[in-house]
Amino acid sequence: MKKFTMFDLLVLVIRRDLVLAMRRRADVLTILIFFVMVVSLFPLGVGPEMGMLRKMAPGVLWVAALLASMLSLGRLFSADYLDGTLEQMLLAPQSLSMLVLGKMTAHWMVSGLPLVLLAPVLGLQFDMSLQAIGVLIMGLLLGTPILSMIGAIGAALTLGLRGGGVLLSLLVLPLCIPVLIFGTGAVEAVSTGLSAASHVSLLGALLIMALVFTPWVTAQALRISME
Amino acid sequence: MLEVSNLACSRGDHRLFSGLSFALHPGQIMQVQGANGSGKTSLLRTLCGFMMPDEGDIAWRGNNIRDLDDDYHAEMLYLGHLNAIKDELTALENLRISAGLSGVEINEKEAVAALRRMGLRGREMLPVKVLSQGQRRRVALARLLVADARLWILDEPLTALDVGAVTLIQELIAEHLAQQGMIIFTTHQPLQVAGVEMSSLSLS
């Protein structure tokens, strides 16, 4: 028998959550379809005027991504909570923060990354320029992991509560506003001929901060929820 | 060894027990007895460190379990009411993952051997959702075979098990105690292990 290192644990948790997601494909598809639907409804709702669509595209895509990631957050810990796996995770002899980081990563790969990959196609629908689409993808790539990580704190705090879903959105959405502002700001900057560098680096800074703090905070929140 | 002194625990405003003291030495087994709602599960969850006791200390090898944290977790195994297995995964995957979570990596052969000993021959590759309640419990109990823990904390381990499985659990308990392990458990079913003196703790 071989002892587990912290990295082994990270890989184990990510692989486990990805296998589970593959076997529950409907959950993943729901998020993607929701994202595509919300984004596609806007041109139908506000009319086909190209200038306006181009202007609102980044905002629409970002808000849709934000809402789509909310949709899957409720399930981040609740399935493990209900079948007792979470108890075992708390008793794991390695760091709980590392385990939480694994769950966050898997959550992003399942619910964030597909949105990033779909965004260019939806961007074309809004007649975004190639350069703007490039920055949009860059922003989403940096921003969606932050959404998963901040969301995990909310998911851990509302674990086992009735009506937790609504509370979760109320807790998490305000915290995601900076990500939304810098993400859309970056695309607007390139559209008006400015550099997106400052917005993108701020997103990068937020991502690093989230990587350092959120796993630990989430781990503490899980301990509180399990009492 | 596990030492509990002057432990008090409550749920909401209701005091479950107080002034509880006992010690569990290597090779000893203790049954926690009491009516429904008397706080058996709460006691075991407090021993795991999920719940903070209102008063009192829980010490493992002389150190408070709150201070030991992960070092304590590496030496204990908790089996609760919930099986902690995933319906979508096979028995084999479940066992390997739960072993991984408890800090040991087992290969496929070891996992298959453990599941076969639990009477799940031919079921290793089936998703757990097609198994019966008793078989699921057996998958969960297979953790006892692969984990490398001194202290077992078992909450109603015999739920949904048939006579054959109960005999098997008795064997496992005897083996664990012979290797200087420690066990604290609750059950409403009679559980006798040959050649083992069982101490008991009554909560009222």
User: Which residue is closest to A96 within chain B, CA to CA?
Assistant: B70
CB contact under 8 A, B50 and A87: yes
B179 within some domain: yes
Q: pLDDT (tens digit, 9 = 90+) per residue, A60-93?
A: 999 999 999 888 898 899 999 999 999 999 998 8
CA-CA distance, A174 to A125, in Å (whole number)? 28
Q: Indicate the residue of B71, B80, B146 with minimum beta-carbon distance to A87.
A: B80
Q: Which residues of B touch A95 (CB under 8 A)?
A: 70
Chains A & B: contacts with CB separation below 8 Å: 88
B80 within some domain: no
Task: Based on the fold, state whether residues B69 and B113 are members of the same structural domain.
Answer: no
Q: Which residues of A touch B104 (CB under 8 A)?
A: 1-4
SS3 readout for chain A:
CEECCHHHHHHHHHHHHHHHHHHCHHHHHHHHHHHHHHHHHHHHHHCCCHHHHHHHHHHHHHHHHHHHHHHHHCHHHHHHHHCCHHHHHHCCCCCHHHHHHHHHHHHHHHHCHHHHHHHHHHHHHCCCCHHHHHHHHHHHHHHHHHHHHHHHHHHHHCCCCCCHHHHHHHHHHHHCHHHHHHHHHHHHHHHCCCCCHHHHHHHHHHHHHHHHHHHHHHHHHHHHHCC
The C-alpha of A181 sits at a distance from chain B's nearest C-alpha, in angstroms, of: 39
What average pLDDT does chain B have?
A: 90
In the block, which residue shows the tokens 């493990």?
A: A80
Task: Based on the fold, state whether residues B139 and B198 are members of the same structural domain.
Answer: no
Q: Does A95 touch chain B (CB under 8 A)?
A: yes
B34 within some domain: yes
- Model pLDDT, residue B12: 83
Question: Per-block average pLDDT, block size 10, for chain A (227 residues)?
Answer: 77 94 91 93 88 90 92 89 92 90 95 93 90 93 95 92 85 93 93 89 96 96 90
Task: Based on the fold, state whether residues B63 and B6 are members of the same structural domain.
Answer: yes
Q: Does B29 touch chain A (CB under 8 A)?
A: no
Closest CA to A57 of A199, A215, A191, A173: A191
Cα B61 versus chain centre, distance: 19
Residue A34 phi/psi, 5° resolution?
-60, -45
Mean pLDDT across B51-71 = 89
B81 within some domain: no
Task: Based on the fold, state whether residues B105 and B115 are members of the same structural domain.
Answer: yes
CB neighbours (10 Å) of residue A163?
8
CB A66 within 8 A of CB A176: yes
Q: pLDDT (tens digit, 9 = 90+) per residue, B6-44?
A: 999 988 888 888 899 999 999 999 999 888 888 899 999
A35 within some domain: yes
A121 within some domain: yes
- Model pLDDT, residue B197: 81
Task: Based on the fold, state whether residues B46 and B139 are members of the same structural domain.
Answer: no
- Model pLDDT, residue A3: 66
Q: Which residues of A touch B76 (CB under 8 A)?
A: 91
| Token pair recorded at residue B188 | 């409403």
Task: Based on the fold, state whether residues B122 and B156 are members of the same structural domain.
Answer: no
Residue count (chain B): 204
B186 within some domain: yes
Q: Indicate the residue of A16, A94, A226 with minimum beta-carbon distance to B103.
A: A94
Task: Based on the fold, state whether residues B138 and B167 are members of the same structural domain.
Answer: no
Task: Based on the fold, state whether residues B8 and B35 are members of the same structural domain.
Answer: yes
- Model pLDDT, residue A2: 60
CB neighbours (10 Å) of residue B125?
11
Task: Based on the fold, state whether residues B71 and B125 are members of the same structural domain.
Answer: no
Q: What angle do CA A153, A37, A174 make, to 5 degrees?
A: 30
The pTM of the full predicted model, rounded to 2 decimals, is 0.90
CB contact under 8 A, A20 and B52: no
Q: Which 8-state DSSP code applies to residue B130?
A: G
- Model pLDDT, residue A31: 92
Residue count (chain A): 227
Q: Indicate the residue of B82, B104, B105 with minimum beta-carbon distance to A83.
A: B82
B164 within some domain: yes
Q: Which amino acid is at B31?
A: Q
Checking if the pLDDT of B188 tops 90, the result is no
CA-CA distance, B115 to B136, in Å (whole number)? 11
A143 within some domain: yes
CA-CA distance, A26 to B158, in Å (whole number)? 35
In the block, which residue shows the tokens 């990354």?
A: A113
Residue B116 phi/psi, 5° resolution?
-65, -40
A149 within some domain: yes
Q: If you write DSSP's letter for every residue of B10-76 in order, what string do you get?
A: EETTEEEEEEEEEEE-TT-EEEEE--TTSSHHHHHHHHHTSS--SEEEEEETTEEHHHHTHHHHTTE
Q: Which amino acid is at A15?
A: R
Closest CA to B40 of B187, B191, B189: B187
Q: Which residues of A touch B93 (CB under 8 A)?
A: 19
User: Which residue is closest to A91 within chain B, CA to CA?
Assistant: B73
A1 within some domain: no
CA distances to A24, A170, B27, B167 from B71, in Å: 35, 37, 20, 32
B91 within some domain: yes
User: Structural domain of residue B55, as residue ranges?
Assistant: 1-75+150-204
Q: Does A93 touch chain B (CB under 8 A)?
A: yes
Taking every pair of C-alpha atoms in chain A, what is the biggest distance, in angstroms? 65
User: How many structural domains comprise chain B?
Assistant: 2
Task: Based on the fold, state whether residues B156 and B140 are members of the same structural domain.
Answer: no
CA-CA distance, A226 to A160, in Å (whole number)? 9
Task: Based on the fold, state whether residues B172 and B158 are members of the same structural domain.
Answer: yes
CB A31 within 8 A of CB A68: yes
Q: Which residues of B touch A3 (CB under 8 A)?
A: 103-105
Q: Which residues of A touch B50 (CB under 8 A)?
A: 87, 90, 226-227
Q: pLDDT (tens digit, 9 = 90+) per residue, B126-149?
A: 999 999 999 999 999 999 999 889
Burial of B80 (0-12, 13-18, 19+ CB in 10 A): buried
Task: Based on the fold, state whether residues B156 and B142 are members of the same structural domain.
Answer: no
User: Structural domain of residue A23, as residue ranges?
Assistant: 6-225
Checking if the pLDDT of B69 tops 90, the result is no
User: How many structural domains comprise chain A?
Assistant: 1
Q: Which amino acid is at A129?
A: S
Q: To the nearest whole percent, how much of chain B has pLDDT over 90?
A: 51
